[in-house]
Homo-oligomer: A and B are copies of this chain.
Amino acid sequence: MTRIGIIGGTGYTGGELARILCTHPDVEIAAMTSRQNAGSRVQDVHTYLRGYVDLEFTERISDTKDLDLVFVATPHGVAMKEVPALLEQGIKAIDLSGDYRLHDHEVYQKWYGHEHTDLDNLAKAKYGLPEFFRDDLKGADLVANPGCYATSIILACGPLLKAGVVDEDIVVDAKSGTSGAGMVPTDRTHHSTCGETIIPYSVGKHRHTPEIEMAVDRFAGSSTKVTFVPQLLPIVRGILSSCYFDLTEDLSQEEVDAIYEKQYGNERFVHHVQEPSIRAVVASNHAQTASKVIGSKVVSFGVLDNLVKGASGQAVQCMNLMLGLDEAAGLNIPGLGV
């Protein structure tokens, strides 16, 4: 069995990694760290893991020997301190934070507000979106797992940009459930604030903006400009990103759908559908795209569960590729539907 560690096991993405990995056929969870819960049993903190994870939280990942791969599920700024030591010991790493997503460290500094301290590995990190960069990920040592918004948006926008049929000036109106904001209570995620409304926030200033532009430019071969407006939904899990394009050529609905089918027809986890549905994918690693042509414009939707395909599920998908396992191992489960 491949031995896996999770740094940051108390948070939502850390707990979700454990939830997925505990039934994975080829790996075992050998270590989970937590500063606040070190010494406690994982299943006492996360009662949903009772009967599935028999482990105590440790203070540091180095307390555990013989790990093969470690997930870093911490706020940004932490991974770049942990990753160098892991790689030096020959332990593969997947960072779920933003630390290794932006290859240009100046862009990182501008959007995250502090310097990047691991430039070597920043240059080597692979961007963990299998549907577009699968070959990069096979056998990789360090993967930067994409942001939840970024995943939904790249999946929705990628096919049209790659096909070169739309203008590169894109409007993205995105909506996310509250779990995307993490486990720390804030004024905005207080139920009385957000529970019966939808709240625009970080308008034009969200850190997924440069991530989307950088990722998309790699396969679209150009300079995409994204106007990105995130909005907080009163649901726990789920993202709907609505992406608006100007068509640069006259395309029918069927032609647009064919572009998506060509891209995703053989994918296990991404399906192009007529009616996109968060409920169809929630609690699973699946995502859906859908497109509607409206005159000379097209709107493309991307939906996913922000904690699974938008975070921990996609990280496990990357892990499978890094370790040479079946890409879908541990992830073969449909969304809830209802």
**Which A residues lie at the B interface, using CB under 8 A?**
12, 15-16, 19, 22-23, 46-52, 171, 173, 175, 177-179, 181, 183, 185-187, 189-200, 203-204, 225, 227, 229, 231, 233-238, 240, 242, 244, 268, 271, 273, 275-284, 286, 288, 290, 292-295, 297, 299, 301, 307, 332-338
Contact = CB atoms under 8 A, between A and B. Distances in A.
A181 to B, nearest CB: 8
B189 A190 contact: yes
Nearest to A305: B336
A278 B233 CA distance: 12
B301 A337 contact: no
Contacts of A193: 279
A177 B271 CA distance: 28
Contact of A204 (B189, B282, B284, B294): B294
A16 B334 contact: no
Task: Count this chain's copies in the assembly.
Answer: 4
B278 A198 contact: yes
A299 B203 contact: yes
A236 B196 contact: yes
A281 B334 CA distance: 17
A227 to B, nearest CB: 5
A185 B183 contact: no
A23 B192 CA distance: 24
Given A189-B185, A192-B12, A227 B297 contact: yes
Contact of A189 (B15, B192, B301): B192
Most buried by B among A15, A22, A336: A336
Given A190-B189, A278-B197, A236 B19 contact: no
B196 A192 contact: no
A240 B234 contact: no
